Amino acid sequence: MIRLRPLFHRQQWKKNVFLKLSKASPRLRHGSTLIELLLFMAILAAVGVSMLPLLFSATEDRLLQQTVATVEQNGVQLLQTIGYHVRHAEKIVAPLARENGSVLTLQTESGGTNPTIIGISSGALILIRGASRQVISSSQVAVESFTVQNTSTTEGRGSVLVRFRLSRTIRLQAPRRYGQSFEGVFTTFPDDALQGDDCQCAQPGCASASLYVWQLCESGTCETAQTQLQCP
């Protein structure tokens, strides 16, 4: 009589081994997935690092374009403002004919705006009309090298050549400074009868390297006024 029991045990043992291997195989698949994830993260990090210089360059170019536009816009506006006051002035008081200076002084018809003075103080362009003082340049730019040349050929037809430079600093990892020069020639309208110098006040001028002094006509008398301006 043949017994089959040992064969049954052998088949059962093979089945148990197969089940153990089947249970172990998912662990092998999990380990393979983790390696792939780490490899993907390493590749992604390398691509990100290589892209950073391009992003910084694009940001720098955009800020530079904005800076150029800001400087140009402010320069044109300042030229228009200076031209307006020169054209509506009766006379160019300072600098004198065929001379240069760092402050432009104009005689106007109205006592409330006479004299009109334009100059630099602490990197800003200042407009003084009579006793009032205001900043006419933007805080986004710095004004420097403001010069005025009196190019008048006749006393009744005054003209001036105005030059200045605007600059702005771009705030980046390595700060960059952009600057541009501007200039314009402006002429007063001819006026036969001057009305803005009833008191015959003294000629305005620089009292020091940073102090400008002039006189106002108040009720027939000359009152001294002064302000901080960049003088020669």
Domain edges within the chain:
57-192
pLDDT over threshold 90, residue 5: no
Is omega for the bond preceding 53 within 30 degrees of 0, making it cis?
A: no
Least confident of 62-76, 147-161, 183-197: 183-197
- pTM score of the predicted model: 0.74
Which amino acid makes up residue 69? A
Question: What are the structure tokens assigned to 17, written together?
Answer: 């081994």
> If you average pLDDT over every residue of the chain, what do you get?
81
DSSP conformation class of 201: P
> What tens digit of pLDDT does each residue of 60-97 get?
778 888 899 999 999 999 999 999 999 999 889 999 98
Least confident of 46-60, 130-144, 191-205: 46-60
pLDDT over threshold 80, residue 32: no
Report which of 119, 121, 90 is spatially closest to residue 106, judged by C-alpha positions: 90
Which residues are bridge partners to 217 per DSSP? 222
